[in-house]
């Protein structure tokens, strides 16, 4: 009797569950990472990258190397030279002191 009740309860639960319920996975929380903006489908052009970096506080921005969607740029921030590596597709960048 108890076994039949458990089977019936389980069957009812599955009947009312959404079709994708068993396939959903918990997404990790979003982490704040440096970037130019939220990732979008559109790839930024070199002038657009410069404009956004200027808003972020960089000046005297010069492109050193461009390879596909990746740009290496030298800029000034707070009076110090920095080397930027920018991904034009994901809009993320990293900064390190220029030597």
Q: What's the full length of the chain, in residues? A: 99
Q: Which residue has the higher pLDDT, 77 or 29?
A: 77
Q: Which two tokens stand for residue 15?
A: 């009947």
Does pLDDT of 68 surpass 70?
Answer: yes
22: which DSSP letter?
G
Confidence at residue 25, expressed as pLDDT on a 0 to 100 scale: 53
Q: Which residue has the higher pLDDT, 2 or 47?
A: 47
Confidence at residue 42, expressed as pLDDT on a 0 to 100 scale: 86
pLDDT 10s digits, 6-63: 565 555 555 555 454 444 455 555 444 455 555 456 899 999 999 999 999 999 999 9
Q: Are the C-beta atoms of residues 58 and 76 closer than 8 Å to each other?
A: yes
pTM, full prediction: 0.58
Secondary structure of residue 23 in the 3-state scheme: helix
Residue 93 belongs to what H/E stretch?
strand 93-97
Confidence at residue 3, expressed as pLDDT on a 0 to 100 scale: 58
Domain boundaries, the chain: 42-99
Q: Distance between CA atoms of 63 and 9, rounded to whole angstroms? A: 65
Residue 72 belongs to what H/E stretch?
strand 70-77
Between strands 70-77 and 80-87, the pairing is antiparallel
């Amino acid at each position: 009797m108890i076994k039949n009740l458990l089977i019936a309860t389980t069957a009812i639960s599955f009947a009312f569950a959404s079709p994708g319920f068993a396939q959903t996975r918990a997404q990790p929380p979003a982490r704040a990472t440096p970037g130019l903006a939220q990732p979008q489908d559109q790839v930024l052009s070199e002038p657009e990258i410069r404009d956004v970096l200027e808003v972020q506080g960089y000046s005297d921005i010069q492109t050193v190397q461009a390879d596909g969607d990746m740009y290496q740029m030298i800029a000034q921030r707070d009076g110090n030279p920095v080397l930027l590596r920018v991904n034009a597709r994901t809009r993320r960048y990293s900064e390190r002191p220029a030597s």
